[in-house]
Amino acid sequence: MIVNQLRDQIPFTTADGSTIRSILDATNAPVEKQSLAEASLPEGGFTERHYHKLSEEIYFILEGRGLMEIDGDEQEVGPGDAILIAPSAWHQIKALTAIRLLCCCAPVYSHEDTYFE
């Protein structure tokens, strides 16, 4: 059985500019097909607009408010909102207030599968 504590995970900055703590992924567990991470942005922060060729993502907003853009469609998001990001969909989130979210990726997130404008 693998049980990882969020508080034990070391934060790092992803290629898109968000601060991430990997909860379960290939770096800290025998994960093969998906990954789970906590992401955060300070008020006014944003990720670089990008897409993933392979990964389907789900964002689940825990705290704060943001403006989510997927392929040109924008919507304000907040606690309890789940957002589906299809593979190859351009996307970006801007923090209207400090924001914290869970990010699930399948297959496992990798910097190599992150593409920018």
- In a domain, residue 7? The reply is no
- pLDDT value at residue 91: 98
- In a domain, residue 3? The reply is no
Number of folded domains that form the chain = 1
- pLDDT value at residue 109: 87
Query: For 7-26, how does the pLDDT look when each residue is reduced to its tens digit (9 = 90+)?
Result: 999 999 888 888 999 999 99
- In a domain, residue 43? The reply is yes
- pLDDT value at residue 8: 96
Where in the sequence is the domain holding 69, given as residue range(s)?
A: 12-116
- In a domain, residue 19? The reply is yes
- pLDDT value at residue 78: 98
Give me the residues of the chain with pLDDT under 50, please: none
- pLDDT value at residue 38: 97
- pLDDT value at residue 15: 82
∠ CA 24-100-33, rounded to 5° = 25
- pLDDT value at residue 42: 95
Asked if 103 contacts 37 with a C-beta cutoff of 8 angstroms, the reply is: yes
CATH number, residue 89? 2.60.120.10
Q: How many CB atoms lie within 10 A of CB 56?
A: 16
CA distance 27 to 98: 27
